[in-house]
Amino acid sequence: MIKNILFDLGGVIITLDQSQAVRHFKEIGLKDAEQRLDPYTQSGIFGDVEMGTIDAEQFREKLSAIIGHEVSREQCLYAWKGYVGDLPRRNLVALRRLRAEGYRLVLVSNTNPYMMSWAMSTEFDGEGNSLSDYFDATYMSYRCGVMKPDGRFFRHVLDKECIDPSETLFIDDGLRNVEAAAQLGIHTFRPDNGADWTEEIYKYLK
């Protein structure tokens, strides 16, 4: 019986828009944004800030050096938020419903301080609620020091939450991420980026 549901953020709760993110980074001066950005697991300084090996200010300084002129924290936030394509209301309604039905909801996301400064604010859903208001617990790569699909991320969550993988469902649009979770005995569901998973999820909860 499934008791716990682990949710990815980008591609599941929010729709990812890789092309918009590339445009935003180009607008602030990163000419080779296509080569530097990835929809699932970042590398270079983008991976470093999502792994937590550098902080938001160090990322801003390093990005400024790459671009060749100073960029502000606001510009960094603008660029990172380019990944946010849409926040479907149906997803938020489903999260509320699943919690009311007794499931423990846990966020498991590769992300960074810039994205979370928006998501964890009252601006997140347009109704004064932050992302954390929809979850029982949140685990972000930059705070955990590890990124999906590394199995250590999932083991960290399982250990901290004291949950049984056989009673846990993980939802992510990334193939390598769900494969890594499955290797630990976690049940998985991989909807396409932006797909409506709100009814199909019940197939995996039975």
Catalytic residue positions, numbered = 8
Looking at this protein, which amino acid is placed at residue 108? V
Strand 187-189 and strand 168-171: pairing? parallel
CA distance linking residue 186 with residue 35, whole number of Å = 33
Tokens of 124: 């997140």
CA distance linking residue 67 with residue 193, whole number of Å = 30
Under 8 Å between Cβ of 169 and 5: yes
Exposed / middle / buried, residue 57 (Cβ in 10 Å: 0-12, 13-18, 19+): exposed
Under 8 Å between Cβ of 76 and 66: no
Scanning the chain, the segments in alpha helix (DSSP H) are: 18-27, 33-36, 44-51, 56-67, 73-80, 89-100, 113-119, 141-144, 151-161, 175-182, 201-205
